Copies of this chain bind each other. A is one copy, B any other.
Amino acid sequence: MCKGPEVEGELGQRGTSQLLINFKLHTQPFSLFWQQPCCYWPINIMYVSSRPSSRSELWLEAFGDHEFLCSTSHEHYGRPCCVPREDVLTGGAVVWEDVSEVGSSLSGIINAEKSEFNEDQAACGQLCIRRCEFGAEEDQEWLTLCAEEFLTGHYWALFDGHGGPAAAILAANTLHSCLRRQLEAVVEGMVALQPPMHLSGRCVCPSDPQFVEEKGIRAEDLVIGALENAFQECDEVIGRELEASGQVGGCTALVAVFLQGKLYVANAGDSRAILVRKDEVRPLSSEFTPETERQRIQQLAFVYPELLAGEFTRLEFPRRLKGDDLGQKVLFRDHHMRGWSYKCVEKSDLKYPLIHGQGRQARLLGTLAVSRGLGDHQLRVLDTNIQLKPFLLSVPQVTVLDVDQLELQEEDVVVMATDGLWDVLSNEQVARLVRSFLPGNQEDPHRFSELAKMLIHSTQGKDDGPTGEGQVSYDDISVFVIPLHSQGQRSSGH
């Protein structure tokens, strides 16, 4: 490990504290932005740790054997130190370790070199949500806030870019801020015994609490709503930013947030999060691909046929039809069908299908492998004016894991990873790897990081790998391993 340039500074005691470090790795710029009260770091090329218990200190470390340029701008009030490190894995892989007290999260990212720049991006950090009193003016002066005035949580996010890394980088830089803003807008409802009908807490109708009760609205629904709105807001920001800078692209987004004893997992795309416990493997997200969302996509084309501009057929067939199929009865399904039937092939059925291909090869309008994600506002089918966006949604699905209700074991973890991992490893295979690795490494403080590394390693086709199955993934891979035990402890400690 070689030591790189160090940047030092002091953390401001009051006022808006922020730190911006711009990295340049080859020609790709990375920025590291830290702002109180939301501690956050895009960690694509860097390892970051922070000890929020003493908020006057901030350590930054960046690992990698790349030449890089490190500069700071604005005032910086921390004591960051950037440490480049040799690659641990072949194939452009970079592994980060986070032994901080913040998120106790670990991540590994491998660049499959599909593109010059890594299209996988990640971010994690502490989420500090400022609480304001009911009725407090929104534009009141920023006050010196003590820890008790924040609601703190933790945030992990993986973004898998396509059409370049631009959208993924923007998402890694932006989504946490959107989420913090959305959460701050509803935080008083979140901390109430029951979210009030009116955020002011004032009852317009005496039976307002009863209406809220009957709808079953709980504090966690406000976090779910905040995540859903944050994705929407971030998508709009990315759309504006890409248009302004003449860039293109999109990305999937998988976000985990630990807040008030619960883990929220929001997913738009084909990344995946699973819970692995001694006797349980539980998916915490579902994938959104042209295949899994076929009926929604066909339904939209049925309601709005103009979206296909007469170039595509809405119907699904087992393969693309050709002239020889004309007049034959072939298998098909339409928007209202989960099952299959036969139809007599007409000329219009020979058009390119709205959704074509199968499994990893399935494509929306022949263009996109995912049906949800951020960005892609300008994306059109090659040589046409047909837009992907109305079929492509930025809406995540949010699942909630009530961590406080689990009898947590030391080795209960959440594994979040981009599709590169799940292409070659099933949930059960990952669970087996987790269970075989952790018990033998109980003393290793880096064991969760080593586990993330090992998971990536076992996708690189090494026959001597832990599964001995020699699977090979040719995609970028990012993995977070989040030990739940420390989250649960932190939650119950508050």
Q: Which residues of A contact B (CB under 8 A)?
A: 182, 185-186, 189, 195, 197-200, 202, 204-205, 207-208, 211-212, 214-215, 217, 220-229, 232, 300, 303-304, 318-319, 322, 324-325, 328-331, 333, 336-342, 358-359, 393, 395, 397-398
Contacts and interface: CB of A to CB of B under 8 A. Distances in A.
Contact of A395 (B220, B222, B336): B336
A212 B318 contact: yes
Contacts of A341: 182, 185-186, 222, 225-226, 229
Contact of A204 (B200, B211, B328): B328
A34 to B, nearest CB: 27
Contact of A340 (B195, B200, B211, B328): B195
Contacts of A328: 198-200, 202, 204
A185 B342 contact: yes
Contacts of A224: 337-340
Contact of A331 (B212, B340, B398): B212
Given A197-B318, A225-B339, A228-B337, 20 more contacts: A182-B341, A189-B342, A198-B330, A200-B328, A204-B322, A204-B328, A205-B319, A208-B319, A214-B318, A214-B359, A217-B340, A221-B338, A222-B340, A222-B341, A224-B340, A225-B340, A226-B341, A228-B336, A338-B397, A338-B398
Contacts of A205: 319
9 contacts: A186-B342, A211-B358, A215-B358, A217-B340, A222-B341, A227-B339, A228-B336, A229-B337, A303-B303
A192 to B, nearest CB: 12
B395 A331 contact: no
A225 B333 contact: yes
State the oligomeric state as a number of copies: 2
Q: Which 7 A-B pairs have the closest CB atoms?
A: A224-B339, A225-B339, A199-B329, A225-B341, A211-B318, A336-B395, A211-B319
A482 B393 CA distance: 43
Contacts of A340: 195, 217, 221-222, 224-225
A227 B198 CA distance: 46
A213 to B, nearest CB: 9
Given A208-B319, A215-B318, A338-B398, A195 B225 contact: no
Contacts of A304: 303
Nearest to A329: B199
Contact of A222 (B202, B228, B339, B393): B339
Counting chain B CB atoms within 10 Å of each CB, which of A195, A336, A398 scores highest?
A336
B198 A329 contact: yes
A228 B338 contact: yes
Contacts of A395: 336
A132 B300 CA distance: 37
A198 to B, nearest CB: 5
Nearest to A331: B197
Nearest to A204: B324
A211 B356 CA distance: 12
Contact of A208 (B221, B232, B318): B318
Contacts of A398: 338-339
Contacts of A359: 214
A226 B343 CA distance: 12
Contacts of A303: 300, 303-304
Contacts of A198: 325, 328-330
A487 B200 CA distance: 60
Nearest to A216: B358
A186 B228 CA distance: 43
B337 A199 contact: no
Counting chain B CB atoms within 10 Å of each CB, which of A197, A207, A212, A214 scores highest?
A197
Nearest to A207: B319
Contacts of A208: 318-319
A324 B198 CA distance: 11
Contacts of A200: 328-329
A58 to B, nearest CB: 32
Contacts of A325: 198, 204
Contacts of A337: 224-225, 228-229
Contacts of A300: 303
A140 to B, nearest CB: 16
